[in-house]
Amino acid sequence: MSREPVIVGIGLSDYPKAPHLDSLMHIAQATKRALDDSGLTLNDIDGFACASMPTDPELHVEAIEHLGLTPRWLNTTYTGGSAAQFQIPDAIAAIREGRAETILFAYGSDFLTRYGRTLGTGGLSVDGGLSGPLLYEQPYGSTIATCYALAATRHMAEYGTRPEHLAEIAVGVREFAGLNPNAMYSEPLTVEDVLASPMIADPLHLLDCCVVSDGGAAFIITTEERGRDLKQSPIHVLGAAGANSHWHIHSMPDFSTTAGVASSQEAYRQAGIGPEDIDTVQFYDSFTITALLLLEDHGFCKKGEGGGFVEEGHLRRGGSLPMNTDGGSLSSCHSGMRGTMLITEAVRQLRGHGGDSQVPDCELALAAGCGGLLSYIGTTILGRDRR
Amino acid sequence: MEVIDNRPWNRGPLDPGPIDREYFEAAAQGRLIIQKCEDCGNTQFPPKALCVSCGQVPDWIEASGRGQVYTFTVVRRHGVEPFSSLAPFVLAMIDIPEGARFMGNITGIDPETIQVGQNVEAYALRIDETLALPLWRPIEST
């Protein structure tokens, strides 16, 4: 009986704008859809992975109550947008060791409905007197967007990366968004459009920044044995690892390199493959620079050569490494912590359910989450077949 | 470093704890300080009650107040006052030779001309009678 971990169900809640749902209901709806997709029921779930954001600090325990779960394995690790990627390594160990049979991962947020579009430019600033590490950032007007802009400027100064390179990332992701009827933005984009959009924080334009949306996602991991007689072809979890370098941007050791170097090396080692074997990537694209750094740090090109790699069109539909085939967070859906959605989209591709966005002969997919401010990078490698 | 007294403070209330307070109080006296651990030699910023390297109580050292731009951005859109009115303004990371990296604004320079490697010096903006916030401005050489 194989206890190797497989993903057997995926589900997304209503997005990108869902004023009828709060964060908890996004989790409930995505969970229902993932269960229906798999053929499992809530009674089968004995493990639960869910990270609460500071804006919904008790969401994980509220979700357990709402769903009526009594998990014997529980992981609520919070690392921002890479939380799912950081929870998967322990989940697959728990599956292998028999500490859990079937684990539900779920995330949901009503970010757009609750906060509007101001997340990236300071709309979540602390009320009252500042204290702690933010004393050394917020009085200078630091926002989420400025932190990523600081990394982009450094990369450009060190390696000659150009605004056109970053814009190409947004253009390629938008092409996939055009094939996703739910995507927040689907009109075709050009590099010129990106460069002509308002500058938010040099060198990042409006269209270098992700959307702010509502949305949730869920997926289910169980044993290969259990996965055999369910509704979908099981997708194998071949490698999973996380690594971190800092939390606040002022403590980032090197603004042009992330901990994705370490997380990807460990994930590749577990999977017994290298970047040359990957058919599609689902990268956290909170900003275009996020995806560029993940691309380099996962070894798809050398450090500093990401701009040229992108310019060659590899990440586009029909390219050698199609990226963010659901329209990503740049164009489709970003409700705060998108790591769970990177997994659901990778699974959709590996099942061959991608429709017009399907990556041909898709056997291996890599999903990489980025949490905090380029702080916590998690890498998951999924495969259509056991290797 | 120079302390500018005549600009009204509008960047929101600060409520520093005891260690942080020492930093902002020193700035109000014209000194840019970082921590150095006498036991292990580690320098650290932002300040902490204990050395991040060895766990001992670190001392303070005064920095020269000069540094170089490690990276920067020009903030064009901001969702919160006073920064939305201040935009465009420069937000940068500054490396100092004593071994620390600061976030700060660089003023007194055309935002379109700033570059990585630019030499800057610290000055301080008065917050109240006892506290001030370090900022940066360009200089010709270090």
Closest alpha carbon within chain B to A137: B103
Asked if the structure places residue A272 within a domain, the reply is yes
Asked if the structure places residue A104 within a domain, the reply is yes
Write down the residue that tokens 């229902």 correspond to. Answer: A32
Domain span at residue A349 reads 140-210+240-383
Is B40 an 8 Å CB contact of chain A? Answer: no
Asked if the structure places residue A126 within a domain, the reply is no
Structure tokens at A251: 């403590």
The verdict on A153 and A300 lying in the same domain is yes
User: Minimal Cα–Cα distance from A17 to chain B, Å?
Assistant: 21
Asked if the structure places residue A72 within a domain, the reply is yes
Q: What pLDDT, in 10s, does the model give residues B90-122?
A: 999 999 999 999 999 999 999 999 999 999 999
The verdict on A377 and A301 lying in the same domain is yes
Closest alpha carbon within chain A to B71: A154
The verdict on A377 and A351 lying in the same domain is yes
Structure tokens at A286: 């909170």
Residue B78 to residue B90: CA distance in whole angstroms: 12
CB-based contact B80 A129, cutoff 8 Å: no
Q: Which of A121, A142, A200 sits opposite B103 (nearest CB)?
A: A142
Exposure string for B30-41, b = 16+ CB within 10 A, e = fewer: ebbbbbbbeeee
pLDDT level of residue A120 (50, 70, 90 thresholds):
confident
Q: What pLDDT, in 10s, does the model give residues A324-370?
A: 999 999 999 999 999 999 999 999 999 999 999 999 999 999 999 99
The verdict on A345 and A287 lying in the same domain is yes
Write down the residue that tokens 């009674």 correspond to. Answer: A43
Distances (CA, A) of B139 to B60, B65, B107, B125: 25, 11, 11, 18
Q: What is the CATH number of the domain that holds A338?
A: 3.40.47.10
Q: Give A-chain residues touching B105 at CB under 8 angstroms.
A: 140-141
Amino acid at A348: R
Asked if the structure places residue A121 within a domain, the reply is no
Asked if the structure places residue A248 within a domain, the reply is yes
Is B48 an 8 Å CB contact of chain A? Answer: no
Residue B30 has pLDDT above 50, yes or no: yes
The verdict on A204 and A300 lying in the same domain is yes
Q: Which of A122, A129, A153 sits opposite B73 (nearest CB)?
A: A153
Residue B142 has pLDDT above 50, yes or no: no
Residue A250 has pLDDT above 90, yes or no: yes
User: Minimal Cα–Cα distance from B101 to chain A, Å?
Assistant: 7
Residue A124 has pLDDT above 60, yes or no: no
Nearest to B92 by CA among A250, A197, A312, A14: A250
Half-sphere exposure of A232 (CA within 13 A, CB side): 28
The verdict on A92 and A164 lying in the same domain is no
Write down the residue that tokens 């001992």 correspond to. Answer: B56
The verdict on A262 and A368 lying in the same domain is yes
The verdict on A87 and A197 lying in the same domain is no
The verdict on A168 and A315 lying in the same domain is yes
User: Minimal Cα–Cα distance from A141 to chain B, Å?
Assistant: 6
The verdict on A245 and A182 lying in the same domain is yes
Q: Would you list which residues of chain A are within 8 Å, Cβ to Cβ, of chain B?
A: 118, 121-123, 125, 128-133, 135-143, 145-146, 149-154, 157, 198-204, 249-250, 255
Q: Give A-chain residues touching B77 at CB under 8 angstroms.
A: 121, 145, 198-201
CB-based contact A121 B89, cutoff 8 Å: no
User: Which of B73, B85, B115 to mutate against chain A (most A CBs within 10 Å)?
Assistant: B73
Q: Give B-chain residues touching A205 at CB under 8 angstroms.
A: none
Averaged pLDDT of chain A: 96
In total, how many domains does chain A have? 2
Does the predicted TM-score (pTM) go above 0.95? yes
Asked if the structure places residue A125 within a domain, the reply is no
Structure tokens at B32: 């840019």
- The number of residues in chain B equals 142
The verdict on A263 and A165 lying in the same domain is yes
Asked if the structure places residue A130 within a domain, the reply is no
Amino acid at A7: I
The verdict on A14 and A152 lying in the same domain is no
* Inter-residue contact A143 to B89 (CB < 8 Å): no
